[in-house]
């Protein structure tokens, strides 16, 4: 697995576009998120269809074509320095293949932020554009709007990435040890759903795999992990970081499952790393070379996430 191209960090006055590739966005939270961004001395602009709702499927923020058009327009706008997703939910996979990836590649690198359903886009940006992306709080998310820790970690990553070269979690080692590799991952169910799709990553081999999910029964998490194992997608993975499992099973039940499915990989695994669907989530860059110390529960980047 190769390291990806790092976009430039943000500076005061940078223009950031907020898009909704997945679910519908509550207006009050969107406005609160835009206010936070303005407080960082950024110039945020909401894409035209951010507050749309699909006429037939209310879980989508507008039509697939409109959601794709918003993302592509923002990415290809030379005046936009970063694209932040407003929220997750569901829908990113429906619009990925409507994007003009050649045009987006020609537009050059810029910062991209999101998590949850946005996992599908993290994978696409890695395989189709070769870019580092940020798995972090979204502009209309509760964590972004209300949690100071989540805000500050994302802000430091965007403006002063050299200050967050080491991400400490307070987690614990499920399997002890150290490992090096290129970071990748996101929401477990989305990674399983990506298998077999056009331009999907063939393997997590050589990677430090970050996994988390929300609202899933234990047997479903078991099924996703088993699917990745059976497909050979986890062959050669260097290490695993486990984030939050909000509204899933008890920690004891999850620990048994994760040890059962991941322990046989023979690589370091750290749990409770504090990213994903949890309060105060850390921002994790994907596509950078790093070292995982499972015993110390730290991830140390070889270079800052952004240039």
CB 19 within 8 A of CB 82: no
Phi, psi (rounded to 5 degrees) for 85: -80, 145
- Set 22, 116, 169, 282: catalytic member: 116
pLDDT of 199 reads 83
Each residue of 251-271: pLDDT tens digit? 999 999 999 999 999 999 999
212 is catalytic: yes
Secondary structure class of 5 (helix, strand, coil)? strand
Burial class (CB in 10 A: 0-12, 13-18, 19+), 215: exposed
73 is catalytic: no
* Residue 291 predicted with pLDDT over 90: yes
Each residue of 90-149: pLDDT tens digit? 999 999 999 999 999 999 999 999 999 999 999 999 999 999 999 999 999 998 999 999
The model carries a pTM of 0.97
- Set 49, 54, 277, 282: catalytic member: 277
DSSP 283: P
Instruction: List the structure tokens of 65.
Output: 């074509």
- Set 123, 212, 216, 271: catalytic member: 212
Tell me the average pLDDT across 39-51: 97
CB 61 within 8 A of CB 20: yes
122 is catalytic: no
């Amino acid at each position: 697995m190769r390291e990806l191209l790092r976009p430039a960090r943000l500076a005061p006055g940078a223009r950031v576009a907020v898009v909704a590739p997945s679910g519908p966005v509550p207006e009050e939270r969107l406005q609160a998120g835009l206010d936070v961004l303005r407080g960082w001395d950024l110039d945020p602009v909401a894409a035209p269809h951010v507050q749309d709702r699909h006429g037939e499927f209310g879980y989508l923020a507008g039509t697939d074509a409109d959601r794709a058009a918003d993302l592509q327009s923002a990415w290809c706008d030379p005046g936009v320095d970063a694209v932040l997703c407003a929220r997750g939910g569901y829908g990113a996979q429906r619009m990925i293949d409507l994007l003009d990836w050649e045009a987006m590649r020609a537009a050059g690198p810029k910062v991209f932020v999101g998590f949850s359903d946005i996992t599908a886009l993290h994978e696409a940006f890695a395989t189709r554009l070769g870019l580092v992306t940020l798995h972090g709080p979204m502009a209309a998310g509760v964590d972004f709007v209300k949690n100071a820790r989540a805000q500050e970690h994302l802000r430091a990553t965007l403006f002063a990435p050299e200050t967050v070269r080491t991400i400490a979690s307070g987690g614990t080692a499920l399997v002890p040890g150290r490992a090096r590799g290129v970071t990748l991952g996101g929401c477990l169910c989305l990674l399983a759903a990506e298998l077999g799709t056009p331009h999907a990553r063939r393997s997590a081999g050589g990677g430090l795999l970050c996994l988390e999910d929300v609202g899933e029964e234990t047997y479903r998490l078991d099924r996703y992990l088993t699917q990745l194992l059976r497909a050979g997608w986890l062959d050669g993975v260097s290490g695993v970081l486990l984030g939050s499992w909000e509204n899933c099973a008890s920690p004891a039940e999850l620990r048994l499952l994760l040890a059962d499915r991941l322990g046989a990989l023979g690589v370091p695994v750290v749990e409770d790393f504090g990213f994903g669907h949890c309060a105060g989530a850390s921002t994790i860059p994907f596509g950078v070379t790093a070292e995982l110390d499972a015993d110390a529960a730290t991830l140390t980047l070889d270079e800052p996430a952004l240039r």
